[in-house]
Amino acid sequence: MREVEKKAQDSAIDVPQRDFKPSGTMRRPAAILVLVRLLEGEPNVLFIRRSQKVRNHKGQISFPGGSFDLEDVTLDVTALREAQEELGINPADLKILGALPAADTIVSNFMVHPFVAIPHNPAQVLNFIPDGYEVGEIFHVPLPELLQPRAFTLETWRVGGHSRQMVFYTYRHYVIWGATAFILHNFLGEIKQGHWQELFELDKLV
């Protein structure tokens, strides 16, 4: 087998006028942030590698995020709060562009709601302050690289006695799989359909 790897936010945050309250579901609601930044003239997606200290998904690659808190009120606030707690990013520095389809996690029993965000100022340098517990590593992958066919692999695994299609994305020595890869796959699929084109024009906003 292959090796696989503070509550309510500031009113200055630009959040779309949509109802992002959790829906009734057996899985626990959570939210993550797909943060796209301009680095060396091209859009890059931010990822973290989870530390060996966490209970679930040790050492796996993920997006910053976590479980919904009732004080958050809406899931987009959850994504921003978690990014601040894990990486020290000021929510007021970020702009949420919209949401992606939710994804469920089998092991940890979450329904994960992804939100795509960019810095309000694409040229701004974000100073990360990892929390020291959940985050083992922070890295970026150029969005054009993720769109290359060579980055994508689809495998069939037996999970719980059933065949399941597993999505993998590879960049250098990083292997992205699980719910993170599924969310990324949906995101890239929407880009290929013509959505999120503003992410490729961040240099014009500088």
Please state the pTM of the whole predicted model. 0.84
Compute the CA torsion angle 114, 198, 186, 97 (nearest 10 deg). Answer: 20
CB 185 within 8 A of CB 167: yes
Give the pLDDT confidence score for residue 21 in this predicted structure. Answer: 53
Residue length of the chain: 206
Give the pLDDT confidence score for residue 51 in this predicted structure. Answer: 78
Give the pLDDT confidence score for residue 22 in this predicted structure. Answer: 53
Low-confidence ranges of the chain (pLDDT < 50): 1-19
Give the pLDDT confidence score for residue 123 in this predicted structure. Answer: 81
- Residue ranges and CATH numbers for the domains of the chain are 29-201 (3.90.79.10)
Give the pLDDT confidence score for residue 16 in this predicted structure. Answer: 37
